[in-house]
Amino acid sequence: MALLRVLIAGCGNIAGTFDLRRPANELPYTHAGAFSRDGRFSLAACVEPDKERRKAFMDAWGISTGFSSIDAAADSGLQFDVISICSPTTCHAHDLGIALRLKPKLIFCEKPVTTSLAEAERLVAECRKADILLAVNYTRRWDTDISKLQADMQAGKWGQLRSVVGCYNKGILNNGSHMLDLLHLLVGRMEIIKVGQPILDCLPSDPTIPAWMEGHQGVPVYLACGHAGDYAIFELQLVFSHGVITMEDGGLFWRERRAVESDTFKGYRTLDAGIRRAGKYSSAMCGAVDNIYRSITRGDTLASTGETALAAQCVCERIKQQALAS
Ligand SMILES: NC(=O)c1ccc[n+]([C@@H]2O[C@H](COP(=O)([O-])OP(=O)(O)OC[C@H]3O[C@@H](n4cnc5c(N)ncnc54)[C@H](O)[C@@H]3O)[C@@H](O)[C@H]2O)c1
């Protein structure tokens, strides 16, 4: 079968640069890295307004055609099966609109879809109307540790879920949407009980906001915050009746502790020291492009779609509105 032709719009970190600063044999964290490694795609062209960055990206990834804007790519008459939107979030609405005109089979859009919920809703609806698949890079939806945890939770392996704490920074929409998407996957729909004081730790338009929510049967879910000026944090702790699971360092590590009889205090149950193990997050981008390939060629269901992304963005918007109103 012919290779699927990819256009990458925006040639920065998530497009490929993160991987260029890492050993070539490591699993990829970027679009160019994952498509190249997969072998069923060809990097046909890229878009980057910065001329030097565009040339460096084309040289590094062996891309023969480069454009200064996605409009120029659309005017070229070239056709693409997949378009990756890796431009700054403020450019996504425009770039997605032009990508639609190019009629690819699938658009792989970086998160969040756009800065505005209304625009994101419109563009997701347009993709659906045009019959163009839309995958949004909420990467943990392709992390097999997460899908196993989801299956274990559904099978009751950890017992009853008692509470959840997700800690993030760098903006409720920018990174908080990753956390809310993950919480939707693991906990389901949540009701917002109270939101706290916004913290301006990155973009003025996108504060980091703490919140208290409730999931199914009133399970408390806390959105806790760090400050992006200190260090990046993206961690999740789930307290179950049989033990505690903690996702550390964005999923690069996991800690599992189980409830046991206490050696020290007879008759009490406590948590054991547990284990800290490496996670499978590093395989998630490969999982994403595999899912993309199969969704295009066999009609497989995408793990992360415009609709799932909108659900997360909708909660971000409600948290932000409540924070600004109080
Ligand atoms: N899924 C993740 O975990 C993850 C991680 C990092 C970034 N992101 C998302 O990826 C997007 C890009 O982030 P980044 O960190 O790679 O940014 P970046 O600044 O490293 O790269 C963006 C590139 O796009 C170029 N650009 C500017 N305007 C453009 C336009 N109109 N069309 C095409 N290219 C344009 C810039 O010159 C720059 O080279 C953001 O939406 C961000 O939220 C997602």
Instruction: Name the strand (E) or helix (H) holding 275.
Output: strand 275-278
Ligand 1: does its nearest atom lie under 6 Å from the Cβ of 53? Answer: yes
pLDDT tens digits along 46-55: 999 999 999 9
Instruction: Judge contact between 137 and 288, C-beta under 8 A.
Output: yes
Instruction: Indicate the pLDDT class of residue 1, thresholds 50, 70 and 90.
Output: confident
110 lines ligand 1 (CB under 6 A): yes
How much distance in Å is there from the Cα of 13 to the middle of ligand 1?
Answer: 7
**Is the CB of 91 inside a 6 Å radius of any atom of ligand 1?**
yes
Q: Which of 318, 311, 321, 294 is nearest to 113 (CA)?
A: 311
Nearest-atom number in ligand 1 for the CA of 174 is 43
Per-residue pLDDT, 144 = 98
The alpha carbon of 87 and the centre of ligand 1 are apart by a number of angstroms equal to: 4
pLDDT of residue 10: 98
Whether the CB of 14 sits within 6 Å of ligand 1:
yes
Whether the domain at 4-137+284-304 and the domain at 144-279 fall into the same CATH topology: no
Q: What is the pLDDT of residue 205?
A: 95
**pLDDT tens digits, residue range 210-223?**
999 999 999 999 99
Residue among 11, 14, 114 to mutate when testing ligand 1 (max atoms within 8 A of CB): 14
Atom of ligand 1 nearest to the CA of 9: 33
137 Cβ below 6 A of ligand 1: yes
Q: Which amino acid is at 142?
A: W
| Average model confidence (pLDDT) across the chain | 97
Pick the CATH number of 4-137+284-304 from 3.90.45.10, 3.40.50.720, 3.60.15.10, 2.20.25.190: 3.40.50.720
pLDDT > 90 in the chain, percent: 99
Indicate which residue's Cα is closest to atom 9 of ligand 1: 110
Tokens, residue 109: 């859009």
Nearest-10 crossing angle of helices 176-186, 306-325: 120
- Is the minimum distance from the CB of 49 to ligand 1 under 6 angstroms? yes
- Residue 45 pLDDT > 90, yes or no? yes
Q: Find out whether the beta carbon of 47 lies less than 6 Å from any atom of ligand 1.
A: yes
**Model pLDDT, residue 265:** 93
pLDDT at 326 over 90: no
139 near 122, Cβ under 8 Å? Answer: no
CA distance 323 to 308: 23
- Residue-wise pLDDT for 275-296, tens only, equals 999 999 999 999 999 999 999 9
Condensed to tens digits (0 to 9), the pLDDT of residues 149-187 reads 999 999 999 999 999 999 999 999 999 999 999 999 999
- The DSSP line for 163-213 is EEEEEE-S-TTTTHHHHHHHHHHHT---EEEEE---EEEEETTEEE--EEE
Test site for ligand 1: of 87, 89, 205, 234, most ligand atoms within 8 A of the Cβ: 87
Burial 241-258 (b: 16+ CB within 10 A, else e): eebbbbbbebbebbbebe
- Separation of 203 CA from ligand 1 center, angstroms? 15
List the domain boundaries for the chain: 4-137+284-304, 144-279
pLDDT in tens, 96-119: 999 999 999 999 999 999 999 999
Cα 278 to averaged position of ligand 1 atoms, centre (Å): 28
Ramachandran assignment for 10, one of left (phi > 0), alpha (psi -120 to 50 degrees), beta (any other): left
CATH of 144-279, one of 3.30.360.10, 3.30.420.40, 3.90.180.10, 3.40.1410.10: 3.30.360.10
Given a cut of 90, whether residue 267 has pLDDT beyond it is: yes
For residue 88 and ligand 1, the question of a CB distance below 6 A is answered with yes
Ligand 1 pocket residue status of 114, Cβ below 6 Å: no
CB-ligand 1 contact for 95 (6 Å cutoff): yes
pTM exceeding the 0.85 threshold for the entire prediction: yes
pLDDT at 133: 98
Indicate which residue's Cα is closest to atom 29 of ligand 1. Answer: 87
Residue 270 has a CB neighbour count (10 Å cut-off) of 12
pLDDT confidence of 229, banded at 50, 70, 90?
A: very high
**Res 160: pLDDT:** 98
Instruction: State pLDDT tens for residues 119-141.
Output: 999 999 999 999 999 999 999 99
Residue 88 Cα to ligand 1 middle (Å) = 4
